[in-house]
Amino acid sequence: MKYSQYLGLLAIMGLALSFPAFAKDAHSGNFTLDDFAQVGSTQLAPGHYKAEWSGPADALKIDIMHNGKTVATTEGKMKDLQRPSPYDAVLVRPAANNAKALNEIDFNNRSEALILVGE
């Protein structure tokens, strides 16, 4: 009898400790840049990145990370998609000096996208 009680308590503790990990994934996503793109005053090289965001949906703080280090920080908002994106996608817009600015990030199988506020 005591064995099953301890096992149940252990299972509950394991679930409780795993919730922060699930919450972190809900506010982050990976994306790939195939070309140079600008975020604020930072020029990002082609490669694999991770976006992490926090705050209310209409006033997010977005950190762009590369190899575990924050390389750019900007503001943005969430955009509701009518259906989940079938793949990861990055949209850019023209910026000064013929550069491309990162404008939107869609994440595979998610019905929300990140919109980066231009500076």
Q: How many domains does the chain have?
A: 1
In a domain, residue 22? The reply is no
In sequence order, what are the residues at sequence separation of 6 or more whose Cβ sits closer than 8 angstroms to the Cβ of residue 23? none
The residue-averaged pLDDT of 60-89 equals 95
Q: Which of 64, 67, 51, 36 is nearest to 107 (CA)?
A: 51
The residue-averaged pLDDT of 57-64 equals 95
In a domain, residue 15? The reply is no
In a domain, residue 10? The reply is no
Per mean pLDDT, which range of 26-30, 53-57, 65-69, 89-93 is the poorest?
26-30
CA atoms 40, 115, 70, 30: torsion sign: negative
What pLDDT sits at residue 27?
A: 92
In a domain, residue 20? The reply is no
In a domain, residue 1? The reply is no
In a domain, residue 75? The reply is yes
CA atoms 77, 82, 88, 94: torsion sign: negative
Q: Rounded to two decimals, what is the model's pTM?
A: 0.75
